[in-house]
Chains A and B, each alone.
Chain A
């Protein structure tokens, strides 16, 4: 077996894929492929492969040479893969086999990712869940049909379950909202300063808005 440095053949559920090193000249790839095909003639006869060379594009005559070479060994070139197909396809999710959202403590639904800090005057309204990778400053508001998660500090107004879902929650790295609403329940910040305690979650329990710490035992018990 020859060592293959610049080409690789992999079998996937969608068929055989030939990977070419985009960092080397086409002639190198072609030479290595020729050697490989010669050694594996029987294995590959009649097969159909798709090729992938990253972002690299080959000239027309190079592509023709490739098709000819594969044809000599009765291998069909079924097409080229786009980078997004290769990378997106590297993990195949199969939710049908184990629908996770039907388990305890899991919720499914559309989600809006906000990869920035929401400053005063910003209003985000979304029918699904909202996740903010930043802070929500005083004067900014989030209205979500589902849950709200703020990884930074929530100082503005947050309304989760706005369309009436009393099971929705609002959680934040630092939960210091001006006002917090879940479904039809409203709570405002205590007038006195509260000390920082770390991640907290607010949800409705027995018809009332409760805030509790999102750390330690609570996580462990729900993960068990």
Chain B
């Protein structure tokens, strides 16, 4: 019996789709049978991030409305045999699917896969309600900005109301240097407000933009810092205890010298 995990945030552009793609790919690397579900009907992206855009024939609306069977709509990943994508429809809108239909779909996915990762659209309307309807667990993504944290808080409240309690938090795009200088909210500030379990911290990383454009999730890139963060998050999802990534800035030569002399 698999697990259905929804990735949500409230605010747009904080990294839900990137997180979904990396989590899914990470779990697939670990040998799990995984399906990624894009519920952002009308504004689909997950297929692009996964590099599978040109293979779409059927989509989630075709499945829920009975135009095709689930098997026909699932797209197999380029790299992994055990990773699939169920793309969103682009020409319809969020009302094309209902929460009840999503519950039925989730049940089907739960039987066929180890993990189903649902990419939730931004906002708190129908699209959000669809995405969380069939989920067992929720992962909330935020960035270290007041507006994103505010929206994450609202989302956590809504998740609790829909009986998806104990969501876990990913803080995305953190810039250690700015935090060090006091120009960015740090982990403690965010956790103080949101007060939920931390699943991981992902540093800002330019390689994410490159990997998103190429359709190759960063989790596969051994040299990427964000990729390393996602690898750790993947292991935590599977129940392992993994230390948080060390995000400290290495000291410059001058400060090392000063430390040596006891001036610091």
Q: Which residues of A contact B (CB under 8 A)?
A: 117, 119-122, 135, 137-139, 153, 155
A135 in complex: contacting residue of B150, B154, B195, CB < 8 Å: B195
A-B contact pairs, 27 of them (CB 8 A): A117-B195, A119-B153, A119-B154, A119-B156, A119-B157, A119-B160, A120-B150, A120-B151, A120-B153, A120-B154, A120-B157, A121-B154, A121-B157, A121-B158, A122-B157, A135-B193, A135-B195, A137-B153, A137-B193, A138-B150, A138-B153, A138-B193, A139-B150, A139-B153, A139-B154, A153-B192, A155-B193
A93 to chain B, nearest CB (A): 35
Q: Which residues of B contact A (CB under 8 A)?
A: 150-151, 153-154, 156-158, 160, 192-193, 195
B222 to chain A, nearest CB (A): 39
B11 to chain A, nearest CB (A): 12
Which residue of chain B is the closest to A134 with respect to CB atoms? B195
Q: How far is the CA of A139 from the CA of B155 in the complex (A)?
A: 12
B8 to chain A, nearest CB (A): 14
B159 to chain A, nearest CB (A): 10
Which residue of chain A is the closest to B10 with respect to CB atoms? A120
Which residues of chain A have C-beta atoms less than 8 A from B154's C-beta? Answer: 119-121, 139
Which residues of chain B have C-beta atoms less than 8 A from A120's C-beta? Answer: 150-151, 153-154, 157
Chain A interface SS verdict (over half): loop
Given contacts A119-B154, A119-B160, A135-B195, 7 further A-B contacts (CB under 8 A): A119-B156, A121-B154, A121-B157, A121-B158, A122-B157, A138-B193, A153-B192
Q: How far is the CA of A138 from the CA of B195 in the complex (A)?
A: 13
Closest 4 pairs (CB-CB, A-B) = A119-B157, A120-B154, A120-B153, A121-B154
Which residues of chain A have C-beta atoms less than 8 A from B193's C-beta? Answer: 135, 137-138, 155
B194 to chain A, nearest CB (A): 8
Q: How far is the CA of A95 from the CA of B153 in the complex (A)?
A: 43
Q: How far is the CA of A155 from the CA of B194 in the complex (A)?
A: 12
Which residues of chain B have C-beta atoms less than 8 A from A155's C-beta? Answer: 193
Which residues of chain B have C-beta atoms less than 8 A from A138's C-beta? Answer: 150, 153, 193
A48 to chain B, nearest CB (A): 50
Which residues of chain A have C-beta atoms less than 8 A from B157's C-beta? Answer: 119-122
Which residues of chain B have C-beta atoms less than 8 A from A122's C-beta? Answer: 157
Which residues of chain B have C-beta atoms less than 8 A from A117's C-beta? Answer: 195
Which residue of chain B is the closest to A117 with respect to CB atoms? B195
B148 to chain A, nearest CB (A): 12
A172 to chain B, nearest CB (A): 15
Q: How far is the CA of A7 from the CA of B158 in the complex (A)?
A: 51
